[in-house]
Amino acid sequence: MNNFSIENQLLNISFLLILITLIIYWLNLIITDLNILKQISKFSTIIINLCLSISLIYRWINNHYFPLSNLYESLVFLTWGLTFIQLILEKQNQSKLIGAINLPIALFTIGFASLALPNEMKEASPLVPALRSNWLMMHVSVMMISYSTLIIGSLLSILFLIVSKGKNIELQGSSYNTKIKTNFIINSISRKYNRLNLLESIDNLSYRVIGLGFPLLTIGIISGAVWANEAWGSYWSWDPKETWALITWLIFAIYLHTRLNKAWNGKKPALIASLGFIVVWICYLGVNFLGKGLHSYGWIL
Amino acid sequence: MLFTNKKNVRWILLKIFSNLNFAICILFIILFFSMLGSIIEQHQSLAYYQNLYPIKSSNIMNFNWKLIIDLGLDHIYESWWFLFILIILSCSLIICTFSVQLPSLRNARRWKFINGYSTTQQNCLLSNNIYINKSIINIVACLDEQGYYCFNRQLKLYGYKGLIGRIAPIIVHISLMVILIGATISFTNGFIVQEIIPVGEIFHIKNILGSGFNNSVPIYSTFRVNDFYINYNIDDSIKQFFSQLSYVDQHGYKRVYPTIFVNSPLKFKGITFYQTDWQINALRIQLDSSCIVQYKLNKVQIGKSIFWICHLPVEKNKYLFIIISKLNHEIYIYNSDGALLFTSFLNQKINISNNSFRIIEIMSSTGLQVKVDPGLLFVYLGFALLIISTFISYISYSQIWFIISNKSCYLNGSTNRAILSFEEELVLISDHYINNFNE
């Protein structure tokens, strides 16, 4: 059994587990009172993440560099990032929605890596001189984790738009309301405090997730700029991938600014975040398939 | 009258530039043109655009090459109007910082005591002055535990925390300004030079690719390429390529510098030398241990493999083909029929039909990029500030008011983000307060 087939087996197991876990998550949304489904899905997500981790570490040990040098490796890492962020968010929020909307994307990325890419694109090849740097691990891994986080945050915004379709909404959990006072009458018997409804919790969670992804994207872009300056003497060259990373950054910067504006409350920020979802995918996959620029993985279309 | 009008115009402009919606619009415009710049290929020839975007007279709204050239869409990122948009963004950042963010920070530092709300009395916690004193002490202890700065006046208490979260947006704006200033300094005072220099040659910085109008290219500085070599992987792909440079001063004194390679440039008196490219030029062949001749090598690519080939005349209508696949490795010698005759190395004597020769050198060149970037320090400072401030900006600025009114206690709170966490914190404070009070 060669190295590649071991990796392949691990990815196939991951693919199968993601498919099963996705079904469990969706069942859990329908049958809400079964706690065992929640436990199974959580455990299964941990197993998926472990399988992907082992696959990446195995490839790292065999090839002596962090596996982020081609499209196949980056897709596997993106799937790992999606499941990892999901686990973190579920630990904090206990929400069944995150897995239900995240796993279809994870299924797509792992499926695309396993099934759509030709074998020569999956094979590890020695790094080109420009990639022989510690910045590779720093820059690309942070970018991929930021993409994972922003994808989940954007998906939550899309879900918010779907759920709020045809509804006139007034959110109290929005970040703009610096003037709203939360009143508590403190006494030994009763304490009244507000709990957010489904829409508000989706909106709030989306904001928090994008709020986590945005600084990561900032670090990713900046580390890339520093590396580019070290490698070929230009921290910004308007390369297509660089430009689209900037566009992604601008989209989410606009999103975060709209959250501060009372006039933009509700659906408008969610629309921008939904646009951000498309932009992230263009930035990550679309630009590479042009086969142009310094970041191209080569193209298959 | 004119003065007041000017004042009004200035005031309106300030109001527009500090407006959040205006900033969002500017960001959308930058976003749109950035997209456009990645769709329309930049810096191509006129013929390229004419071929790809022909004028079709049938369509009134036709997007054609003439439109691209006239609007400068062939070089969006260097066009005057794109730079103008960036200047507007800079102005918006500065004005927003001074007219909105700084006053907001000053306001956040002030004590704000408010009166109690008219709420129906129910199960009052406090009933007399002794308990009131105890209440104030307890709530101060609870708030202090949660990291609040507290201010007390009579039966009112005000506390805040996370003021640094209010400073962060100002630093974000400043960092973006510092990056733009750094980029401007680089644009006006910097230069980029690309040189392809044969090994052993002395060179001056002269092949300028781009330079600012206020640059000072050190044209009299003399450098020498002492050596160039390549490391290969097992599969014959290039692992890394290296150049060894030295600086030659006016007196001919040579100062040798560390070897440079991709990702490891050389910094010298504000000039940075980057290893960017390489090429194999020619073969130096010694014929019959006497004269030395030089033959140009031609680059040929077959699939993913690259070869350098030259042909050496030996007899009339007879040639030897010398093929090189790697620098300073095996040399393959074929006859004109395509049969492999020898696998040779450098300085190895080769005898073919009463002729002897040896290949004494594979002449190579190194590709260097030479750059002076005086704005780099500002750009890096801006980067550092941006990273730090982006994270700091997620710290919530929270305020708490504790009021004793009509024998009731009220706890009021306000925060600028993370409302759920803040609500939980208020519940925690009230729990602590009740527990302490009942002890």
* Per-residue pLDDT tens over the stretch A248-266: 999 899 998 887 765 666 7
Residue B298 clears pLDDT 80, i.e. is over it: yes
pLDDT for residue A79: 92
Last residue within a domain, chosen from A124, A151, A171: A124
Question: B44 touching A, CB under 8 A?
Answer: no
Choose among B21, B27, B427: nearest Cβ to A250: B27
Q: Supply the angle between the helices A198-232 and B376-392 in degrees, to the nearest 10.
A: 160
Cross-chain Cβ contact B123/A190 below 8 Å = yes
pLDDT band at B406 (very low <50, low <70, confident <90, very high): low
Q: Is the pLDDT of residue A46 over 60?
A: yes
Q: Which residues of B touch A188 (CB under 8 A)?
A: 123, 125, 434, 438
Residues A184 and A103 both lie in one domain: no
What pLDDT is attached to residue A188?
35
Domain count, chain A: 2
Residues A156 and A67 in one domain: no
A123-127, A169-173, B240-244: least confidently modelled range = A169-173
The per-residue pLDDT for B42 is: 83
Is residue A169 included in any domain, yes or no? yes
Least CA distance to B400: which residue of chain A?
A181
Coil, helix or strand at residue B339? coil
CB neighbour list of residue A295: distance below 8 Å, 6 or more residues apart: A239, A240, A241, A242, A287, A288
pLDDT category of residue B4 using cuts at 50, 70 and 90: low
Please check whether residues A118 and A149 belong to one and the same domain.
no
pLDDT at B167: 81
Give the pLDDT of residue B122.
26
Say yes or no: B394 contacts chain A, CB-CB below 8 A.
yes
Percentage of chain A lying above the pLDDT 90 cut? 22
What's the whole-number mean pLDDT along residues B241-260? 76
Nearest CA in chain A to B241: A129
| Phi, psi dihedrals of residue B271, rounded to the nearest 5° | -105, 140
> A154, A240 in Cβ contact below 8 A?
no
Q: Which chain B residues are within 8 Å of A177, Cβ to Cβ?
A: 419
HSE-CB at B432 with a 13 A cutoff on CA atoms is 17
Residue A18 to residue A30: CA distance in whole angstroms: 19
- Rounded to the nearest angstrom, the minimum Cα separation between A259 and chain B is 10
Residues of A in contact with B42 (CB under 8 A): 238
What CA–CA distance (Å, rounded) separates B399 from B414? 5
Check residue A92 and give its pLDDT.
72
Domain finish residue from A124, A154, A173: A124
Cα nearest neighbour of A220 on chain B: B387
Query: Residue A60 sits in a domain of what CATH number?
Result: 1.20.120
Question: Over chain A, what is the mean pLDDT?
Answer: 79
Tell me which of A122 and B37 has the higher pLDDT.
B37
Task: State how far residue A66 is from chain B, nearest Cα, in angstroms.
Answer: 16
∠ CA A3-A5-A6, nearest 5°, is: 65
Residues of B in contact with A187 (CB under 8 A): 122-125, 409
Whole-number pLDDT of residue A2 = 57
- What confidence score (pLDDT) does residue B120 get? 32
- Residue B437: what pLDDT? 54
Structure tokens at B425: 């914190």
Q: In chain A, whose CA is at the least distance from the CA of B424?
A: A193
Write out pLDDT tens, residues B209-224.
666 655 566 655 778 8
**pLDDT above 60 (res B243):** yes
Average pLDDT of the residues in B305-315: 77
Q: Tell me whether B237 touches chain A (CB under 8 Å).
A: yes
Q: Is B386–A222 a contact, with Cβ atoms under 8 angstroms apart? A: yes
Q: Work out the pLDDT band at B410, boundaries 50, 70, 90.
A: low
Closest residue in chain B to residue A129, using alpha carbons only: B240
Is residue A68 domain-shared with residue A153, that is, in the same domain?
Answer: no
Q: What is the pLDDT of residue A176?
A: 38
- Nearest alpha carbon to residue A177 among B16, B398, B411: B398
Verify that A215 and A97 share a domain, yes or no: no
Residue A185, in any domain of the structure: yes
| A55 and A106 assigned to the same domain | yes
> Residue B255 and residue B257: Cα distance in Å, rounded?
7
CB < 8 Å from A in window 201-220 of B: none
CB within 8 Å: A129 and B371: no
pLDDT of residue B292: 78
Q: Is B387 on the interface with A (CB under 8 A)?
A: yes
Both tokens of B334, joined, read: 């074929």
**Smallest Cα distance from A188 to chain B, Å:** 7
Q: Domains of chain B, with CATH numbers?
A: 6-80 (no CATH), 109-162+396-437 (3.30.310.10), 191-372 (no CATH)
Dump pLDDT digits (tens) for A185-233: 443 333 333 445 677 788 878 887 998 899 999 999 999 999 898 786 8
Locate the chain A residue with the closest alpha carbon to B412.
A183
- Whether A132 is covered by a domain: the verdict is no
Name the pLDDT band for B123 (thresholds 50, 70, 90). Answer: very low
Q: Cβ–Cβ of B34/A250 closer than 8 Å? A: yes
Identify from A70, A139, A179, A186 which residue to disrupt to test chain B contact, counting B C-beta atoms within 10 A and taking the largest count: A186
Contact (CB<8Å) B239/A132:
yes
pLDDT tens figures, A91-115: 777 677 888 988 899 998 889 888 8
Tell me which chain A residues have a C-beta less than 8 angstroms from the C-beta of B390: 214-215, 218
Q: In terms of domains, do A79 and A200 share one?
A: no
Q: A122: helix, coil or strand? A: helix
Residue type, B89: L
Which residue of chain A comes nearest to B422, CA vs CA? A182
Residues A5 and A47 in one domain: yes
Q: CB under 8 Å to B196, separation ≥6 — which residues?
A: B277, B279, B365, B366, B367, B368
pLDDT, tens only, B159-191: 888 888 878 888 888 898 899 889 888 878 787
Instruction: Render pLDDT for B367-394 as a digit per residue (tens, 0 to 9).
Output: 988 888 888 889 999 999 998 888 888 7
Q: Is residue A278 part of a domain?
A: yes
| Residue A246, in any domain of the structure | yes
Nearest by CB: B410 against A173, A185, A215: A185
- CB–CB of A279/A251 below 8 Å? yes
β-bridge mates for residue B230, sequence order: B241
- What does the alpha-carbon distance between residue B137 and residue A234 come to, in Å, rounded to a whole number? 59
In a domain, A26, yes or no: yes
Chain B residue with CA closest to A193: the answer is B423
Tokens at residue B348, please? 């190895």
Inter-chain CB proximity A232 and B379 less than 8 Å: no
Per the domain annotation, does A130 fall within a domain? no
Structural domain ending residue among the three candidates A96, A124, A152: A124
The DSSP bridge partners found for residue B368 are: B195, B275
Element (H, E) at B158: strand B156-161
Distance CA B113, CA B151 (A): 9
Range of the domain at A254: 139-301
User: What sign does the CA torsion over B183, B173, B35, A227 have?
Assistant: positive
Q: What SS3 state is found at A174?
A: coil
User: What pLDDT shows up at residue B210?
Assistant: 65
The C-alpha of B221 sits at a distance from chain A's nearest C-alpha, in angstroms, of 20
Residues A266-298: tens digit of each pLDDT: 778 898 999 899 999 988 887 766 655 555 554
The beta-strand segments (E) located in B167-317 are 191-198, 202-204, 208-211, 222-232, 238-248, 254-256, 260-261, 266-268, 271-287, 292-296, 298-302, 305-315
**A250 and A300 in a common domain:** yes
Residue B173 forms contact with A (CB below 8 Å): no
| Residue A291 falls inside a structural domain | yes
Phi-psi region for residue B50, left (φ > 0), alpha (ψ -120 to 50) or beta? alpha
Please state, in angstroms and rounded to a whole number, the distance separating the CA atoms of residues B362 and B284. Answer: 6
Q: Does A59 share its domain with A143?
A: no
- State residue A194's pLDDT score: 41
CB atoms within 10 A of CB B388: 15
pLDDT, tens digit, 9 for 90 and up, residues A23-38: 888 887 777 666 777 7
How far is B338 from B395, CA to CA, in rounded Å? 73
Distance of CA A235 to the CA centre of its chain: 26
Residue A245 has pLDDT above 90, yes or no: yes
* Window from B9-23, B86-100, B104-118 with minimum mean pLDDT: B104-118
**Residue A276, both tokens:** 């951000």
Task: Please indicate, yes or no, whether residues A22 and A152 belong to a single structural domain of this protein.
Answer: no
B74 or B113: which leads in pLDDT: B74
Q: Is the Cβ of B132 closer than 8 Å to some Cβ of chain A? A: no
Task: Check B34 against A179: CB less than 8 A apart.
Answer: no
Q: Do A218 and B412 touch (CB under 8 A)?
A: no
Do A170 and A72 fall within a single domain? no
Per-residue tokens: A187? 């006494």
Q: Do A130 and B262 touch (CB under 8 A)?
A: yes
Give the mean model confidence (pLDDT) for residues B310-332.
75
